[in-house]
Chains A and B, each alone.
Chain A
């Protein structure tokens, strides 16, 4: 299914404002990816949650290095 970022533009804008103001450590791309995964999988909650988990795991692996 092709992604249509325009359709969730307003939604992303709201999240981006919060992220930029209060949580700048979190990359905007991560939030955008989670939103698109959730948008495309509204009919398949399991798939949406698996992708979200994977995206956050990847981010944490890159951000918090093992000693």
Chain B
């Protein structure tokens, strides 16, 4: 089986400098812990890049190589990146190196063409030719089955499609399943033996044509065989084209999803930019209000003292004004009294006053004139001065701006926080967008993608119809050929014909062994996959009443309850996840092709019981399992206890800076 020995990554993604993960040569599990953004998925993609030279979740040829390299390394003048994967297979040690480096003469890359890729595979100490490199890589881990070795937990949901009839995704997965299980060995064998059978049948027909007795029959057979060959070739071509189109459809759909994601990011970026601009305007307004308020704030600050002085001045003014007013009132009263005394008649009560009372009044007037003498000239002057002072002080009274300023300050603090939050979100959105390359080209790319997808779907329909028609024609010709050949076998008696017929008979037997072997092997596999998947499912499932899985022709697995009856309908996302993992484990157990399983965040939808049960079965999935998980996705200590001696190594992706992650052996490992 294939086993990874170590992976060295240099200046790739968040991994700055040269960093190495050593895997154990013992069977067991390796954990790589890392929080969001630390590079777990990038690490999974690095394995994919190492083996297949391709980047996942990128827009085909538009991958921006500069963006794949480490950002800090770039700022230090190191462009490009390198991956070295050491592996063992069939007792041999292989070292695969893939590197993108700047072409000679380029010091600062502006386009992908500024880079050149170096790929070489060492077997032991010898460097293999590029043909041998391709051949070995295709044999040890064909790309068609990559999904079972390098998988993203988030994509397990698509295995549900296996339960659906006529699902293109399901058909693609089924093809991959048969690939990993080795079915193509038989189908290719059947195709090749059929070709040999065809050649010997043609030879027999030629023999018949050269014989007078069977000449006419031979010619008829030859015509039909030529037609059959043509239809077979056409059917093969249609099938190949259909396979390519289905693959293209998956890519376009994935690009479409990617585009949708980018579109959503662009909308989010726009909304955040608008929100930031609006909040900044609000902040400017508040700053202006604060400035204006602060301009008169000194008046508020001296207000207290002004009020104190004003209060004293007002008190003094009041005393003097009261005195002045009293004198005025008294003067009026005295004037009335004097007039009454001189006329000996009171106008107020319209009565005459006798002389005795007039005397009293005159005495009283003398006393009062002494008491209400009015303001002295000094006092009058002082009153005028105080009144002016009072008026001045009143203009200096200003309501305190403290409360108003406090409100403004609170609003300013709130809007500043909102701006910071939005700017942080905007930065994250821009970083995410940056991963998708040139945004300017995106709009055209999106339109092209939709157009291409529509064309692709039409083409798939046409190809399927063409395939159906060809298959029908082939069946008719074969039936006619069988009748003619039976007639020929009865008629022909010559030695040549006997030998030719015998060769055809033996060829038919060989071909039949392969042809019949396909169905037998498939059925055999299905029952083994069903049994092993059930075994894993029961160990993982948290529902003891779900007792078995049943496999369909597409390798889809239905869950059955202990009470029997129909399969469990409307399975939860969590159970889809569990069934997919059980299927993958069973495939690994039954595949001729064996290798490491590297899984990224496979616990997303699962409850704690399921998570723990999956940890328990990890060592059963493959001899070498590498699990990429974020901290707290599972209980680390519990996972260690559950795995016990099956846990071989632990690494942690630790943040050095936003753009620099270090891969460090986990000190907590036992």
- Which residues of A approach B to under 8 Å, CB–CB? 1-2, 4, 7-8, 10-11, 14-15, 17-19, 22-23, 25-26, 30-31, 34-35, 38-40, 42-45, 48-49, 52-53, 56-57, 59-60, 63-64, 66-67
23 contacts between A and B (CB under 8 A): A7-B592, A7-B594, A8-B592, A10-B521, A10-B592, A11-B185, A14-B520, A15-B517, A18-B516, A19-B513, A23-B509, A23-B510, A26-B509, A34-B189, A42-B139, A45-B188, A48-B192, A53-B192, A53-B199, A57-B196, A60-B506, A60-B507, A67-B499
Chain B residues whose CB sits within 8 angstroms of the CB of A53 once the complex forms = 192, 195-196, 199
Chain B interface main SS type: helix
CB contact under 8 A between A42 and B142, given known A8-B182, A25-B506, A52-B193: yes
Contact pick for B195, options A1, A30, A42, A49, CB 8 Å = A49
Q: How far is the CB of B217 from chain A (nearest CB, A)?
A: 22
Bound-state Cα–Cα, A11 to B593, Å: 12
Bound-state Cα–Cα, A49 to B199, Å: 13
Instruction: Please name the residue on chain B nearest to A66 by beta carbon.
Output: B499
In the complex the two chains form, is A1's CB within 8 Å of B193's CB? no
CB-CB contacts below 8 Å: B102-139 with A? 134-136, 138-139
In the complex the two chains form, is A1's CB within 8 Å of B135's CB? yes
Chain A residues whose CB sits within 8 angstroms of the CB of B503 once the complex forms = 60, 64
In the complex the two chains form, is B517's CB within 8 Å of A14's CB? yes
B476 at the interface (CB under 8 A from A): no
Q: How far is the CB of A13 from chain B (nearest CB, A)?
A: 8
Bound-state Cα–Cα, A52 to B189, Å: 8
CB-CB contacts below 8 Å: B184-219 with A? 184-186, 188-189, 191-193, 195-196, 199-200
Q: How far is the CB of B426 from chain A (nearest CB, A)?
A: 47
Bound-state Cα–Cα, A22 to B92, Å: 40
Instruction: Please name the residue on chain B nearest to A34 by beta carbon.
Output: B189
CB contact under 8 A between A35 and B189, given known A4-B90, A10-B592, A18-B517: yes
In the complex the two chains form, is B182's CB within 8 Å of A17's CB? no
In the complex the two chains form, is B590's CB within 8 Å of A10's CB? yes
Instruction: Please name the residue on chain A nearest to B196 by beta carbon.
Output: A56
Bound-state Cα–Cα, A59 to B510, Å: 11
Instruction: Please name the residue on chain A nearest to B512 by beta carbon.
Output: A23
Q: Given contact pairs A15-B186, A42-B142, A60-B200, enumerate 20 new A-B contacts (beta carbons under 8 Å).
A: A7-B593, A10-B521, A10-B592, A11-B182, A15-B514, A15-B517, A18-B512, A25-B506, A26-B510, A31-B510, A38-B188, A42-B139, A43-B134, A43-B135, A48-B188, A48-B192, A56-B193, A57-B196, A59-B506, A66-B499
In the complex the two chains form, is A56's CB within 8 Å of B592's CB? no
Instruction: Please name the residue on chain B nearest to A3 by beta carbon.
Output: B90
B563 at the interface (CB under 8 A from A): no
Chain B residues whose CB sits within 8 angstroms of the CB of A64 once the complex forms = 499, 502-503, 506
In the complex the two chains form, is B189's CB within 8 Å of A38's CB? yes
Chain A interface main SS type: helix
B354 at the interface (CB under 8 A from A): no
Bound-state Cα–Cα, A7 to B90, Å: 11
In the complex the two chains form, is B135's CB within 8 Å of A15's CB? no
B495 at the interface (CB under 8 A from A): yes
Q: How far is the CB of B179 from chain A (nearest CB, A)?
A: 9
Instruction: Please name the residue on chain A nearest to B495 by beta carbon.
Output: A67
In the complex the two chains form, is A26's CB within 8 Å of B513's CB? yes
Interface digits, B158-188 against A, CB 8 Å rule (1 contact, 0 not)? 0000000000000000000000001011101
Q: Which of A2, A22, A38 has the most CB of B within 10 A?
A: A38
B524 at the interface (CB under 8 A from A): yes
In the complex the two chains form, is A43's CB within 8 Å of B510's CB? no
Q: How far is the CB of B483 from chain A (nearest CB, A)?
A: 24
Q: How far is the CB of B196 from chain A (nearest CB, A)?
A: 5
Instruction: Please name the residue on chain B nearest to A8 by beta carbon.
Output: B592
Q: How far is the CB of B198 from chain A (nearest CB, A)?
A: 11
In the complex the two chains form, is A10's CB within 8 Å of B139's CB? no
In the complex the two chains form, is B509's CB within 8 Å of A8's CB? no
Bound-state Cα–Cα, A66 to B503, Å: 11
Chain B residues whose CB sits within 8 angstroms of the CB of A35 once the complex forms = 185-186, 189
In the complex the two chains form, is A38's CB within 8 Å of B512's CB? no
Bound-state Cα–Cα, A18 to B513, Å: 6
In the complex the two chains form, is B142's CB within 8 Å of A43's CB? yes
Chain B residues whose CB sits within 8 angstroms of the CB of A67 once the complex forms = 495, 499
Q: How far is the CB of B596 from chain A (nearest CB, A)?
A: 16
Interface digits, B570-599 against A, CB 8 Å rule (1 contact, 0 not)? 000000000000000000001011100000
Q: How far is the CB of B494 from chain A (nearest CB, A)?
A: 10
In the complex the two chains form, is A10's CB within 8 Å of B524's CB? yes
In the complex the two chains form, is A31's CB within 8 Å of B513's CB? yes
Bound-state Cα–Cα, A43 to B137, Å: 10
Bound-state Cα–Cα, A57 to B514, Å: 17
Q: Which of A19, A59, A64 has the most CB of B within 10 A?
A: A64
Chain A residues whose CB sits within 8 angstroms of the CB of B196 once the complex forms = 52-53, 56-57
Bound-state Cα–Cα, A42 to B520, Å: 21
Chain B residues whose CB sits within 8 angstroms of the CB of A8 once the complex forms = 182, 185, 592
Instruction: Please name the residue on chain A nearest to B134 by beta carbon.
Output: A43
Bound-state Cα–Cα, A50 to B136, Å: 20
In the complex the two chains form, is B507's CB within 8 Å of A56's CB? yes
CB-CB contacts below 8 Å: B518-555 with A? 520-521, 524-525
Q: How far is the CB of A19 from chain B (nearest CB, A)?
A: 5
Chain A residues whose CB sits within 8 angstroms of the CB of B499 once the complex forms = 64, 66-67
Chain A residues whose CB sits within 8 angstroms of the CB of B525 once the complex forms = 10
Q: How far is the CB of B19 from chain A (nearest CB, A)?
A: 32
Instruction: Please name the residue on chain B nearest to A65 by beta carbon.
Output: B499
